[in-house]
């Protein structure tokens, strides 16, 4: 969903939520005027957009002057990661975990889950079901190893055969700031049932 806001409103949203954002400049016209579009991603289902007039030399007190002084250098600081993993189910209750990592595939990061998908092949059996959790597997938060912080998929019941399920921005409240998945935690996919399908899980997240 795209929502148009005033520049001042977007500044307030960025400051209160520490959001990822980018912007684009158009070419300057012969009079030195152009338009700057500021795009703020909430790393979920909302994108805020505003357009402000800009000049080669900003007017004193203008939105452009404020943007250049306070926000321009911060654009694009956050990073998107795309992750995909294939695994074969081996019995009822089969679990597959993956840790939220930075681009370097080494560093643990706190992140927003943006979207994803689960693909199940034809070996799935009707009535089997899948859940996807956020888990503190290693007790990094100090509340006990294996604590389930929330569900990305609560219960997806399969009809049998090949299926595809989109992971939309989840509605969760984790034990961290800004509803992020805490650093050091995992996404866990669990398969329940008699089938032994091949599953491909894909995620996009932002840190």
Q: What does the pLDDT look like over 120-167, one tens digit per residue?
A: 999 999 999 999 989 999 999 999 999 998 888 889 999 998 999 887
Task: Decide yes or no: CATH 1.10.3470 for domain 80-206.
Answer: no
Residue written as token pair 């979920």? 44
**Domain 2-74: CATH class, spelled out:** alpha beta
pTM (2 d.p.):
0.65
Q: What DSSP assignment string belongs to the chain?
A: -EEE--HHHHHHHHHHHT-EEEEEE----TTSEEEEEEEEE-SSS-EEEEEEEEESSPPTT-HHHHHHHHTGGGTT-S-EEEEEEEEE--STTEEEEEE-B-TTSSSB--BEEEEEEEEE-TT--TT-EEEEEEEETT-SSSS-TTEEEEEEEEEEE--SSSEEEEEPPP----SSGGGPBPTT-EEEEEEESS---EEEEEEEEE-
Average pLDDT of every residue of the chain: 83
The ranges assigned to domains in the chain are 2-74, 80-206
Q: What does the pLDDT look like over 72-125, one tens digit per residue?
A: 887 766 667 778 889 999 999 999 998 988 878 889 988 888 778 899 999 999
């Amino acid at each position: 969903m795209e929502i148009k806001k005033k520049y001042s409103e977007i500044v307030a949203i960025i400051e209160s939520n520490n959001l990822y954002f980018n912007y684009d400049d158009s070419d300057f016209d012969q009079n030195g005027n152009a338009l700057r579009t500021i795009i703020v991603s909430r790393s979920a289902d909302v994108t805020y957009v505003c357009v402000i007039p800009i000049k080669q030399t900003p007017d004193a007190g203008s939105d452009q002057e404020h943007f250049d002084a306070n926000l321009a250098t911060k654009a694009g600081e956050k990073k998107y990661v795309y992750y995909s993993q294939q695994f074969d189910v081996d019995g009822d209750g089969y679990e597959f975990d993956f840790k939220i990592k930075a681009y370097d595939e080494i560093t643990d990061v706190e992140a927003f889950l943006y979207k994803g998908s689960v693909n199940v092949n034809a070996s799935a059996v009707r009535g089997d079901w899948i859940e996807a959790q956020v888990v503190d597997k290693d007790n990094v938060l100090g509340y006990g190893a294996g604590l389930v912080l929330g569900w990305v998929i609560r219960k997806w019941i399969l009809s049998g055969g090949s299926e595809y399920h989109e992971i939309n921005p989840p509605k969760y409240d984790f034990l961290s700031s800004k509803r992020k998945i805490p650093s050091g935690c995992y996404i866990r996919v669990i398969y329940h049932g008699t089938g032994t399908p091949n599953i491909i899980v894909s995620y996009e997240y932002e840190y």
